[in-house]
Amino acid sequence: MPCSEPELMDLSDDNDEEPTEQRESAFNETYVDNLGSEDASSTSGETGENDMKILIATDIHVGYGENKSVIHDDSINSFEEVLQIAAKENVDFILLGGDLFHENTPSRDIMCKTVRLLRKYCLNDNPVFIEFKSDPSVNFKHSNFARVNYDDCNLNVGLPIFTIHGNHDDMAGMGLTALDELHESGLINLFGKFEQVEEMTVSPLLLTKGTTRLALYGVGSQRDDRLNRAFESKNIHFLRHGAEAEEWFNLLVLHQNRPPRSKCRSTGNYLPVKYIPSFFDVVLWGHEHECKIRPEYVDVSAKMDGDGFFIIQPGSTIATSLTPEEALPKHVSALTIRGRQFQSRPIKLETVRQMMVRTINLDRKPKGYSFPLYGTREEEMYDEVIVIETIKELIKKAKETRGPRQPLLPLIRINLVYSGPWENVKMYSGRPLWTIFANEVANPTTMLMTKRSKAKKDKEAPRVNEFDFSVFDKSTTSIEDMVSEVLSFADFDHRLTVLTDDVLKHTLRTYTRDQTTVAGANRKLDEMLNHKLNLIQEKLVGIGMDKLKSGKVPMNRMEKELGDEIRRMKEMMYSEVSEQNRQRNRINPDEMFE
């Protein structure tokens, strides 16, 4: 424990107190490709006496897929690899950007496995060279223990972990997270926890090693809208070391949406970088799973070029969704800070399960190919064949590129888009894939995702489907006539088969105009529907039995044959009804079923 703490002042909202000529150019001076060496090579796993070496990672999601047969151990294996890398690199501490757990109430099994790993890799006799200079009662005010874990004489911590909470391990119930349990047991150091986001004062953890000074700020996951408004109202204050502010390297850890996620909300449901004060040198951005491990420079100040900060977005260590962004290689980074400079060295994870994602856009019809009738499918259709061949190709590629520590079975996702001439074709369900590739992929039941992409209609066209009442004739006054006219615009394939237009029109007239009770009208409708349904069923059963007895139609083709027969009956029925309507204005539903 330090005998005295540096004095902190709120300088984050008044940049005029900090002369710009004294501020180092972040772009030109702060980030370097190689810090060089002091007493030892920075790539050998050892560091100089002034080099503060940190392993940064985020979104580990321990517990993801724990109930799935193949991937149940993936998340815990990735977490162990992160700890192994930290031990191999001989880092001073690990810094996590939130979402250590996938659930904010992890199962006993997951919590037990996590504690075992933390005890295995973090509790040892290795010396910790990082000095804690700030007031721990302020940094860890949520805890009953006012000290950082490696300064606790009752614990033997050789690899400290500092972390904020994410949206998955967020506060629930009494304001506690699963991370609070690990913090109170002395296994990690949880910081950046705030109960009120409307008014927030962020006090940094002040850490030193030799001449290097690190001011570590953290803001645990908050609702983006609320955090956005708090920044806009200038209700978030970052404390800085007043007299020697420029001698400290400033690092902020966040867990928020980085790109806009909503077009409906005025805030965009994300945290704009313009709200982040420019005195920060590096921002560790959690929550985004896409790996952007190379530091990205952001210039948010108009006062001078280079007065900005770098964002490092490690991404998740495990894929929790089957998207192209998650299919990118997963990394952590060894961040070395010396004075006001840093270098970031990406380290690729070797135990992450392979993921192959492919999008197939069906927007052209093969030459000479004919589509089946709407609502039906044939065996070995073109879309089914191309999906199966693509999966086989991806499995072959996965086998050729799999690393020695990667699991055997890859994750595969095929995004099948129906557009153009395929727009009205019944989509492939993908069910046979479950059995074909059950032992070759890790996710046989979720490999296929289908989508129908319909062409945009002319905005000037009448919006009949949106009930644009201006299309009705002036003489159309009754509800049954209005409904009948709307249905007459519908495509034949979308018109009703059992509850036909005229039956519906007669039913509406019964409900709205005849002197009949609701119960009586319901009975009348049921009688008409049952009578017509029985006629259709009897005819279909007779046709089906005749075709089966003849032996000309196999059972697996019967569905298509009956579908074709229903369409012919529907065409004949509507043709008869049209002829009757030309002869008389009012239809007798009983005659229509004869």
Q: What is the CATH number of the domain that holds 18?
A: 3.60.21.10
- Residue 454 is predicted with a pLDDT of 78
Domain that includes residue 527, residue range: 473-592
Taking residues 464-493, what's their average pLDDT? Answer: 56
442/504 same-domain check: no
What is the pLDDT averaged over residues 447-465?
A: 69
Q: What are the backbone angles phi and psi of residue 244, rounded to the nearest 5°?
A: -125, 35
- Are 340 and 365 in a shared domain? no
pLDDT at residue 366, rounded to an integer: 86
Closest CA to 123 of 99, 154, 96: 154
Q: Which of 303, 323, 347 is the last residue of a domain?
A: 347
* Count, residues in the chain: 594
- Least confident segment among 150-159, 216-225, 507-516, 531-540: 507-516
Instruction: Specify if 77 maps to a domain.
Output: yes
Whether residues 214 and 320 fall in one domain: yes
Q: Which residue has the higher pLDDT, 429 or 505?
A: 429
Helix, strand, coil percentages in the chain from 3-state DSSP, rounded to 5: 35, 20, 50
> Are 76 and 189 in the same domain?
yes
If one counts the domains in the chain, the total is: 3
Task: Quote the pLDDT of residue 5.
Answer: 55
Q: Backbone dihedral region of 16: left (phi > 0), alpha (psi from -120 to 50 degrees) or beta?
A: alpha
pLDDT > 90? residue 407: yes
Domain-terminating residue out of 347, 367, 382: 347
Reported confidence tier of residue 21, pLDDT bands at 50, 70, 90: very low
Confidence grade of residue 582 (pLDDT, cut at 50, 70, 90) = low
Q: Name the band, by pLDDT with cuts 50, 70 and 90, for residue 465.
A: very low
What is the structure's pLDDT at 541? 72
Q: Is 213 exposed, middle or buried (0-12, 13-18, 19+ CB in 10 A)?
A: buried
Burial class (CB in 10 A: 0-12, 13-18, 19+), 150: buried
| Residue 521 pLDDT > 90 | no
138 plus 54 within the same structural domain: yes
Contact at 8 Å (CB) between 7 and 138?
no
* pLDDT for residue 7: 63
Catalytic residue IDs: 168
Q: Are residues 281 and 304 in the same domain?
A: yes
Average pLDDT rounded to a whole number, residues 437-460: 84
pLDDT bin (cut points 50, 70, 90) of residue 592 is very low
| Least confident range of 302-316, 524-538, 577-591 | 577-591
Minimum mean pLDDT among 158-162, 298-302, 335-339: which range? 298-302
What is the average pLDDT across 360-386?
86
- Measured CA to CA, the distance from residue 149 to residue 179 in angstroms comes to 14
Whether residues 445 and 520 fall in one domain: no
pLDDT value of residue 567 = 75
Last residue of a domain, one of 347, 381, 412: 347
With 0-12 CB in 10 A as exposed, 13-18 as middle and 19+ as buried, what is 95?
buried
The predicted model gives 119-136 an average pLDDT of: 95
Local confidence band at 78 (pLDDT 50, 70, 90 cut-offs) = very high
Judge whether 401 lies within some domain: yes
297 is a domain residue: yes
Contact 330, 317 (CB under 8 A): yes
Nearest to 387 by CA among 427, 328, 424: 427
> pLDDT value at position 544?
60
- Amino acid 30: pLDDT: 79
- 74 three-state secondary structure: helix
| pLDDT tens-digit readout, 93-124 | 999 999 999 998 999 999 999 999 999 999 99
441 confidence band (pLDDT: 50, 70, 90): very high
Co-location of 378 and 433 in the same domain: yes
Could you tell me if 413 and 546 lie in one domain? no
Identify whether 151 is part of a domain.
yes
Q: Can you point out the beta strands (E) in 314-426?
A: 331-338, 341-348, 355-362, 411-418
* DSSP code per residue over 479-519: HHHHHHHHHHTS-GGGS-SSS-HHHHHHHHHHHHTSS--HH
Q: Which amino acid does the sequence have at 302?
A: A
**DSSP notation for 50-71:** T-EEEEEE----BTTTTTSTTT
- Percent of the residues in the chain that have a pLDDT greater than 90, as a whole number: 48
Other C-beta atoms lying within 10 Å of the C-beta of residue 581:
14
Distances, alpha carbon 33 to alpha carbons 304, 312, 556, in Å:
23, 14, 65
User: How remote is the C-alpha of 396 from its chain's centroid?
Assistant: 27
DSSP for residue 365: P
Residues 112 and 26 reside in one and the same domain: yes
Q: What is the pLDDT of residue 27?
A: 52
- Beta-ladder partners of 101: 62
Whether 463 maps to a domain, the answer reads no
Residue 564 and residue 445 in one domain? no
User: Vertex 22, ends 17 and 27: CA angle to 5°?
Assistant: 115
User: What are the Cα distances from residue 470, in Å, to 213, 411, 473?
Assistant: 72, 52, 8
Residue 121 is predicted with a pLDDT of 97
What pLDDT is recorded for position 534? 79
Residue 412 domain-assigned? yes
Of 331-345, 485-499, 522-536, where does mean pLDDT reach its minimum?
485-499
pLDDT greater than 60 at residue 548: no
Most confident of 155-164, 484-493, 551-560: 155-164
Task: Note whether residue 565 is domain-resident.
Answer: yes
What is the spatial distance between Cα 558 and Cα 376, in angstroms, rounded to a whole number? 11
| Chain segment 551-563, per-residue pLDDT in tens | 565 655 666 666 7
Mean pLDDT of the chain: 81
DSSP β-bridge partners for residue 342: 31, 337
- Nearest-angstrom CA–CA distance, 589 and 594: 9
Whether residue 42 has pLDDT greater than 50: no
Q: What is the CATH number of the domain that holds 374?
A: 3.30.110.110
Average pLDDT over residues 405-430: 93
Any domain includes 515: yes
227 and 93 housed in the same domain: yes
Q: Which of 19-28, 239-248, 410-419, 457-466 has the highest mean pLDDT?
A: 410-419
Q: Per-residue pLDDT for 179 more than 90?
A: yes
Cα separation of 100 and 189, whole Å? 13
For residues 229-248, average pLDDT = 87
